[in-house]
Structures are given as structure tokens and as C-alpha cells.
Amino acid sequence: MNFVVFGAGSLGTLVGGLLAREHAVTLVARDPHATAVRESGLSVAGEFDFLVGADATTDGTDRRADCAIVTVKAFHTETAARELATGEFDAVLSLQNGMGNEDLLAAHLDCPVLAGTATYGAVLTEPGRVECTGIGEVVLGARDGGQSDPADRIGTAFSAAGIETTIADDMPRRLWEKLAVNAGINPTTALARVENGALRSGDAEEIAATAARETAAVARAEGVKLPDEDAVAAVRTVAEATAANTSSMRQDVEAGRRTEIDAINGYVVARGEKRDIDTPVNRTLAGLVKAWEQENGP
């Protein structure tokens, strides 16, 4: 298959590099990263150790591929959607964190938009070089759930490239569960400046668990079966499995970058308001991170 990876920073470069071992891949990325990949290849380090050839460009318009994978931060999804709409794809797959990305993409595109989650850890360490900080899994499927031929084809292509992949028919529940994990872990670790493992005990654990319970309540009001216990268990499992991780939101805050708070806790608060469900912990966490962004963000 041939793939375009739109927004190849940390995660997109890792996924693109893994796919390029088996498929034709074009990264849509910023310079100097795009030029380095085009001229010297893409180096994948950490849990892997290989150099692979891939095409790379800074121009995301007029692209054609069997599949475009979207890996921009959530606040760039609208721009990505507009650029992708100038191209031709059999399907577009989001691997982003946060909610609302697939809807935004679908509003601009006339091909199937698939939902995905990724638990691989990735850090772009220098132009042309990405480090895999943890082997996880990609889960993908139809964004409204059910079977999907494009999801089957793309999932099979991911597996053929050695990416741990599950093709799922319950993506809405999986997206909400990942949202509960991110709503619990990301702002708590960003505000407290602690590693994910610090959320395994004490008040921080309870704050993260409460944010996850509120997220599950909103999910259920939206018709998604996500019991509180499952959402809390997912936070505990991820905090344990990624104990030494610096969450992406903590990385953003420490680097003075905009965060994905609007698509994570902000989304829970907004959907909760629509359903008359109070989400005080999510509102507090979102409010604090937004206050930081206003004072310190770009």
C-alpha cells in the first residue's frame, strides 16, 4: 500500500518509519525534518534500530495515496483536513489523542474517515531521527463502530509492517476509554510536573481517577457503554505501564508549547454541559492548564 503521514512529528515519523519497511510512505512534515528524511533517510532508534528510505515534503496539498494517516496535534486538525481535501485518498485514519478529530476530518473529506488510537511512545530527537520510547499498540476501525473494509485493509498493512495492530469494531468505546486515560493522566502530570507513575497512589491518583469517572459518565450519556470501573482501571493500567513516561501534556508545558487540553478535558466539560452532567474535576484541570497557556504558552 502507499501511505501519506500528515503531520510527521514524533508519532507520525515513528509510524511512517515502521510502515516504510514494507510500504511506500510520504511524510508531510516541517523542515529541516522533511529535507533530512528525503536526503538521508529516516532513522528509528530506541526500541528499534534501523534506517529506512521514505519520501518527505512540506507541502500537504494535492497528495494521493491509499491511506492518509493524520498525526498533527488536535488543534491543527482543521488545517490538516483542508489540505487533505485537495488530495485523493481511499481512506483517512486519525491516530491522534483527544476527541472530535474524526468528525472534523469527515466534515472536509469525502472518503471514509477511520478512528485510531496509538500507545507507542515516540520522540523526534533530531531531524530525520525518531526514538521509540515504548512499544505499544495501534487500534483502528470504523469511527462509528462496526466492520469496515478499509479498516481491515489498513490494519492488515500495519501488521505486515510489524506494527502491533488490532482492528476493532467498537472504536467509539475505545476512543472514550483513551479519552478517560488522557483526561486523568495528562493535565495532572503536567500541572504537578510528575511522571505518569506518580499517579499510582495518593491524592494525585484520586484526582486522575475522578477525571476518568466523570469522562465515563459523559460517555454513557452519549450512548457509549463505559463503566466507571473500566475507565479507572484503564488509568491505573496506563499509569503503571508508562510509569517512567513524561506525558505529552507535561512535555508540551515544559517546552512552552500549546497543549491538547481543549480536545481532552475541554471536550469532556463541553459534552458534559450539553448532557447536563457536571464535570468539576475536568473543569478545574482544564481551567488551570488554560490559565498556564494564557500566561506562558506560545
Ligand X SMILES: CC(C)(CO)C(=O)C(=O)O
Ligand Y SMILES: NC(=O)C1=CN([C@@H]2O[C@H](COP(=O)(O)OP(=O)(O)OC[C@H]3O[C@@H](n4cnc5c(N)ncnc54)[C@H](OP(=O)(O)O)[C@@H]3O)[C@@H](O)[C@H]2O)C=CC1
Could you say which of ligand X, ligand Y, none residue 28 binds, taking C-beta under 5 to 8 angstroms by partner kind?
ligand Y
Residue 248 near ligand X by CB under 6 A? yes
Picked from ligand X, ligand Y, none, the partner binding residue 238 (CB below 5 to 8 A depending on kind) is ligand X
CB contact at 8 A, 128 and 107:
no
In sequence order, the β-bridge partners of residue 142 are 114
Cα distance between residue 221 and residue 76, in whole Å: 28
One residue of 196, 210, 215, 265 binding ligand X per CB under 6 A: 196
Cβ(218)–Cβ(230) below 8 Å: no
Q: Which does 175 bind (CB under 5 to 8 A by kind): ligand Y, ligand X, none?
A: none
Residue 118 contact among ligand Y, ligand X, none, beta carbon within 5 to 8 Å by kind = ligand Y
Strand partners, 69: 5, 93
Residue-wise over 168-199: b if at least 16 C-beta within 10 A, else e?
A: beebbbbbbbbbbbbbbbbbbbbbeeebbebb
Distances (CA, A) of 68 to 55, 61, 82, 105, 208: 14, 12, 13, 11, 33
Looking at beta carbons only, is 9 or 217 nearer to ligand Y? Answer: 9
Q: How far is the CB of 263 from ligand Y (least distance, A)?
A: 8
Q: Which stretch binds ligand Y (CB under 6 A): 118-126, 155-163, 200-208, 233-241?
A: 118-126
Out of 97, 165, 210, 259, which residue is the one contacting ligand X (CB under 6 A)?
97
Task: Give yes or no for residue 73 binding ligand Y (CB under 6 A).
Answer: yes
Kindly state the number of chain residues that form the binding site for ligand Y, as judged by CB under 6 A. Answer: 27
Beta strands 2-6 and 24-28: pairing type? parallel
The CA-CA-CA angle for residues 45, 69, 89, to 5°, reads 140
Start-to-end CA span in the chain (Å): 38
- Residue 91, classed as helix, strand or coil, is strand
* Among 73, 178, 274, 290, the one annotated catalytic: 178
In the set 10, 188, 242, 265, which binds ligand Y (CB under 6 A)?
10
28-87 residues in contact with ligand X (CB under 6 A) are: none
**Is residue 211 close enough to count as binding ligand Y by CB under 6 A?**
no
Residue 45: CB minimum distance to ligand Y, A: 14
- Residues 226-245, mask of contacts with ligand X (x by CB under 6 A): ------------x---x--x
> Is 73 annotated as catalytic?
no
Query: Distance between CA atoms of 292 and 253, rounded to whole angstroms?
Result: 8
Binding site for ligand Y (CB under 6 A): 7, 9-12, 28-30, 60, 71-74, 76, 79-80, 83, 95-98, 118, 121-122, 124, 248, 260
